[in-house]
Structure 1
Amino acid sequence: MPIVFPFQIDPINPVHPAMPERRFCIQSPVGELEEYRNLFEDFGYSGNGPSWVEHISTMLEEADPDILEHLEFDEEGDTFVVYADSEAVVRRFLLLVQPVFGSTQLLKKYLSQTDPSDFFE
């Protein structure tokens, strides 16, 4: 699958026998996205992998809570990682998240509407 900024999607092949639900890996090297990290910091967040996990999982829970049953987030330091169980779930994820995270202007608008006290990271 292609890179859909700021995400890269890779099929997992062969599928690991102990983790058959991990069919696709969606990741972003958040530590390398200085403009994004600065934007998160401007609004009181770290902007690291766990920060992205928290914001993205919150967005998904509000927009399409059923999708969370098909995703497995992996807390990484400077990398955002989530595993999806199907290509359809990857498409749903991108439809909901990429429009906000694919543009610093839209991400800024989103972050301006959040309250850091509502988040752990």
Structure 2
Amino acid sequence: MDEKFEPCTLVEHENNFSLVKSITGVFKEKAEIFEQMGFCGNGYDWNEIVKELIRTKAPEISSEIHYDSEAMMFCVYSDNLAALKVVAQLIRLVINDENLLIKAIENTTPRLSPTSCT
């Protein structure tokens, strides 16, 4: 695994790249925080967390990132590899800072999945 993109995996396609991460490991470990706040912590919720982090910490890449998550998988794609590296850095930041994750959840609450999705 390329460490620059952890905890996600970088996948190279013919015309672009994607970052993927199943809702296991560190994402599953953070599910309790989502659940305590009334949400699932699924791939769709991680989309919203990443959108919020980009909005607040890296707005210059917002037009470069496209979302294609599913319930059990987070996925973003772009033809800009550097932008995907920033996304991975933002994910690591929020995984390592529970308060930042809570703040991001609070800021995205209207767009998150209710816990009844399980």
| TM-score normalised by structure 1 residue count | 0.74
Q: Which runs of 4+ in 1 moved over 6 A?
A: none
Amino acid at match of 1:110: L
Letter matched to residue 19 of structure 2: I
Is the 8 Å Cα contact of residues 5 and 98 (structure 1) preserved in structure 2?
Answer: yes
Higher helix content, 1 or 2: 2
Q: CA RMSD in A?
A: 2.3
Task: State the Cα deviation string for residues 42-68 of structure 1 (Å, max 9, x = none).
Answer: 222210000000111111011122211
Deviation at 1:115, TM superposition (A): 2.2
Higher RCO (Cα < 8 Å, 6 or more apart): 2
1:91 aligns to what? 85
TM-score by length of 2: 0.76
- Which amino acid in 1 is paired with 2:84? V
Q: Show the 5 A alignment for 1:1-121.
A: 2=2, 4-12=5-13, 15=14, 20=15, 23-31=16-24, 33-101=27-95, 103=96, 106=97, 108-113=98-103, 114-115=105-106, 118-121=109-112
Post-superposition Cα deviations, 1:8-54, rounded to whole Å, max 9, x if no partner, equal 11111xx2xxxx4xx11101111564322222212222100000001
Q: One-letter code of the match for 1:115?
A: E
Specify every segment of 5 or more residues in structure 2 that has no aligned partner in the other structure, as ranges: 113-118
User: How many residues are aligned here?
Assistant: 109
CA contact (8 A) 2:52 2:108 kept: no
Structure 1 unaligned regions, length at least 5: none
Q: CA deviation at 1:71?
A: 0.9
Offset, 1:120? 1.8
